[in-house]
């Protein structure tokens, strides 16, 4: 899922790397993703990049507080019957951030 979260009204998470780690930890726990490694890098004066390496693949977050925007990507190799897991994560993030409802781009990569 590729998700552009725009017009964020709750800006607490935009500049707080540790709070976003808590959010991603909750997402991983809820959806039974196995975290192998977490890497985060804060930028000056604001914003950060956060990457979770999962045994199922990865989650990446890039924040742009000056634009009220987060780029959120999650890729898993699980074969879900539908996109409900991704849609659930999308709704959770939009509600948490009090952001505009954007349509996520969900790619079905099969080989």
Q: Which sign does the torsion angle of CA 51, 53, 58, 59 carry? A: negative
Helix (H) or strand (E) holding 38: strand 35-42
Catalytic residue selected from 31, 58, 60, 62: 62
Which residue in 77, 82, 88, 90 is the catalytic one?
Answer: 77
Residue 62 falls in the annotated catalytic set: yes
Catalytic residue, candidates 41, 57, 67, 88: 57
Q: Which residues are catalytic?
A: 57, 62, 77
């Amino acid at each position: 899922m590729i998700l552009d979260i725009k017009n964020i009204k709750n800006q607490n998470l935009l500049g707080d790397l540790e709070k976003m780690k808590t959010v991603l930890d909750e997402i991983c726990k809820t959806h039974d993703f196995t975290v192998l490694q977490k890497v985060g890098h804060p930028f000056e004066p604001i914003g950060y990049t956060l990457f979770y390496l999962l045994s199922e693949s990865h989650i990446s977050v890039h924040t742009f507080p000056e634009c009220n925007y987060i780029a959120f990507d999650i890729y898993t190799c699980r074969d879900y019957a539908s996109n409900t897991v991704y849609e659930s994560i999308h709704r959770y993030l939009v509600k948490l951030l009090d952001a505009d409802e954007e349509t996520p781009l969900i790619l079905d990569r099969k080989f």
